[in-house]
Amino acid sequence: MSNPPTNGERPADGAPLLDVSELTVHHGQLRALDRVSLRVFPGEVYAIIGANGAGKSTLLRTIAGLHRPTGGVIWFDGQDVTKVRPERRAARGIAMVPEGRRLFESLTVEENLQVGATYARKGPWTIERVYEMFGWMAERRSQRTAQLSGGEQQAVAIGRALVANPRVLLLDELSLGLAPVVVQRIYGMLPQILATGLTVLLVEQDVSQALRVASHLQCLLEGRTTLEGRPSDVTAEQVEAAYFGLARAGQESDSLWSGSTTSSRES
């Protein structure tokens, strides 16, 4: 992989918007990521897949600035942001929808959206535009998020990230704990989000869902990359082997393609 520019200048046309090189992250003595690299280009939906414990969420949290890597470099728009604080990354255009939503449940829907606008850049996304995309939300703006269903909370979490007007949207396990019909509804809104010029880095256990929306795919297993490429260029057998490891691929392929890796369902 070619190195990013070292002079701090904006990359030339055709360069990746997000360039992660040889990223290593430890949780205590545990090596959660081992020299993971990826390049995400403007307008892409880049999907990271893998089983529980593969390092997917650690990767997104490190890109967002919530974990400090022990090795490697994170470049964003030609700038080294490896040691930049999370709020400064948000101000530059990196926003995250975390696993489990992590809303302020004692606050209302609108108050949660206002939190997302704290480090907002100039751009097309406003609270009112989020209300337009999620038709039910405006009339329930004064309701505490603790009273919402899982799918509704996920919509608020997405809206909270969008009002920051990011350039890269990090989506961590959108389908986790949600009923299939709710997952389809949320993913059905992805084209509207991409139409505003956003780039998406997506973490997903539901491989079938990831393959449907991704322009590029990368699989992690125990913190290492085991497969990378365009969905159209990889076979189901290759994905299964990369996801589980060669010894387990044949034993567990049924659960992989049925999307049953999601542990619980709620509406």
Per-residue model confidence (pLDDT) at position 138: 94
Q: Report the 10 Å Cβ neighbour count for 125.
A: 23
Average pLDDT value for residue range 98-125: 86
Per-residue model confidence (pLDDT) at position 13: 53
Cα separation, 96 vs 177, in Å, equals 18
As a whole number, the mean pLDDT across the chain is 85
Average pLDDT value for residue range 196-214: 91
Among 27-31, 84-88, 103-107, 154-158, name the one with the lowest average pLDDT: 103-107
Could you tell me how far CA 2 lies from the centroid of its own chain?
Answer: 24
Percent of the chain with pLDDT over 70: 86
Cα separation, 225 vs 55, in Å, equals 10
Close Cβ partners of 163 (under 8 Å, ≥ 6 residues apart): 113, 116, 117, 120, 125, 126, 127, 130
pTM confidence score: 0.83
Torsion over CA of 148, 152, 156 and 159, rounded to 10 degrees?
-160
Average pLDDT value for residue range 139-157: 89
Q: What is the DSSP letter of 67?
A: S
SS3 40: strand
Strands, DSSP E only, in the chain?
18-27, 30-40, 45-49, 71-76, 79-80, 94-97, 168-172, 177-178, 199-204, 216-221, 224-229, 265-266
Could you tell me the two tokens for 125? 């996304």
Query: Each residue of 7-20: pLDDT tens digit?
Result: 333 344 589 999 99
Average pLDDT value for residue range 79-108: 90
